[in-house]
């Protein structure tokens, strides 16, 4: 999916919602265990219930890797079921050098090689340029660099100031945005770091930001939009637990849709207030 196609979807669906598919086998409704692939069946129903309300889906790869071959099969089926008009993000947080990074790129981008055809992949920048470039080299794909995360431990390193008073996350954004472009590079910025969006936007005014932490983690959608939204929206706000685990009974998909609809309605108001729609 190109940048312009993503923006068109945001305007058309009046939403910048990304639904996280962190599907925990222990949390899916028990009646789904009668299916041959309960994890995929759960994902399929969530996708069908929310596809018109969101512009992206983000499976967290750890929830599939931990189940071995069965998990990878569920992931492949899920990837195939994702709507073509939604950005598909593999939340794998890969980061290694040289040929290793190239192999990770093949794993998530090369359908002929691995069976997976994700549009985007989250990547860790700690090992520097040669750990990111192999992903950026894949034409038509997005790399989403971890910049400022919403977890409590994120402050251990990301907020550290150097001798010039520049915080590490600012160094990461300032450095990496010279490696890619607004057409193939995004950043992960946690919703619980509202005021830091101003600093990030000063360094990357036009890049899309993938924003976890709204919903169950307590991040404010209004703060994210106030500090992070640009003229094209420039945001993909992820919600996971508040949507996919809204219910654990046979009506789980309907309840997921209800929760997604609430967020989509709030997003529509923010887009209208900014004059984007």
> d(Cα 220, Cα 241) in Å, to the nearest integer?
15
Residue 190 phi/psi, 5-degree rounding, is -70, 140
* CA proximity to 253, closest of 17, 23, 9: 23
Residue 152 burial (10 A CB sphere; 0-12, 13-18, 19+): exposed
Give the model's pLDDT for residue 102.
97
Task: Report the share of the chain in percent with pLDDT over 90.
Answer: 92
Q: Are 105 and 113 in contact (CB under 8 A)?
A: no
Q: Residue written as tokens 């222990």?
A: 26
Tell me the average pLDDT across 24-32: 97
pLDDT band of residue 12 (cuts 50, 70, 90) is: very high
3-state secondary structure of 112: helix
Tell me the average pLDDT across 28-56: 98
Give the model's pLDDT for residue 121.
98
> d(Cα 90, Cα 123) in Å, to the nearest integer?
10
pLDDT band of residue 117 (cuts 50, 70, 90) is: very high
In this structure, what DSSP letter does residue 226 have? H
Give the model's pLDDT for residue 263.
96
Give the model's pLDDT for residue 239.
94
Give the model's pLDDT for residue 163.
94
In which element (H, E) is residue 142 found?
Answer: strand 142-148
Structure tokens at 88: 């598909």
Residue 134 burial (10 A CB sphere; 0-12, 13-18, 19+): buried
Structure confidence by residue, pLDDT tens digits, 170-225? 999 999 999 999 999 999 999 877 778 999 999 999 999 999 977 655 678 999 99
Give the model's pLDDT for residue 192.
78
11 is catalytic: no
In this structure, what DSSP letter does residue 60 have? B
Give the model's pLDDT for residue 200.
95
Give the model's pLDDT for residue 7.
98
CATH of domain 3-273: 3.20.20.70
Catalytic residue of the set 11, 13, 58, 93: 93
3-state secondary structure of 122: strand
> d(Cα 62, Cα 76) in Å, to the nearest integer?
14
Structure confidence by residue, pLDDT tens digits, 90-116? 999 999 998 999 999 999 999 999 999
**In angstroms, how far is CA 47 from the centroid of its own chain?**
15
In this structure, what DSSP letter does residue 211 have? E
Give the model's pLDDT for residue 215.
62
């Amino acid at each position: 999916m190109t940048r312009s196609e993503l923006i068109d979807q945001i305007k058309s669906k009046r939403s910048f919602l990304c639904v996280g598919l962190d599907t925990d086998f222990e949390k899916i409704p028990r009646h789904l265990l009668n299916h041959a692939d309960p994890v995929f069946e759960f994902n399929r129903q969530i996708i069908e219930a929310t596809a018109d309300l969101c512009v992206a889906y983000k499976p967290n790869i750890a929830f599939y890797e931990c189940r071995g071959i069965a998990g990878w099969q569920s992931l492949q089926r899920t990837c195939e079921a994702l709507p073509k008009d939604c950005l598909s993000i593999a939340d794998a947080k890969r980061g290694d050098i040289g040929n290793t990074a190239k192999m990770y790129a093949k794993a998530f981008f090369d359908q002929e090689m691995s069976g997976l055809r994700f549009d985007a992949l989250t990547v860790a920048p700690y090992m520097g340029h040669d750990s990111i470039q192999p992903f950026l080299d894949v034409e038509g794909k997005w790399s989403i660099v971890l910049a400022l995360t919403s977890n409590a431990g994120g402050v251990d390193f990301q907020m550290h100031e150097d001798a010039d008073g520049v915080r590490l996350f600012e160094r990461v954004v300032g450095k990496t945005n010279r490696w890619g472009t607004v057409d193939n590079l995004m950043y992960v910025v946690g919703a619980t770091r509202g005021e830091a969006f101003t600093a990030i936007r000063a360094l990357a005014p036009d890049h899309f930001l993938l924003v976890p932490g709204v919903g169950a983690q307590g991040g404010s959608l209004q703060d994210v939009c106030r500090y992070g939204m640009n003229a094209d929206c420039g945001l993909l706000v992820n919600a996971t637990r508040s949507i996919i685990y809204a219910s654990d009974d046979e009506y789980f998909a309907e309840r997921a849709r209800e929760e997604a609809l609430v967020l989509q309605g709030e997003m529509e108001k923010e887009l209208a207030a900014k004059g984007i729609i």
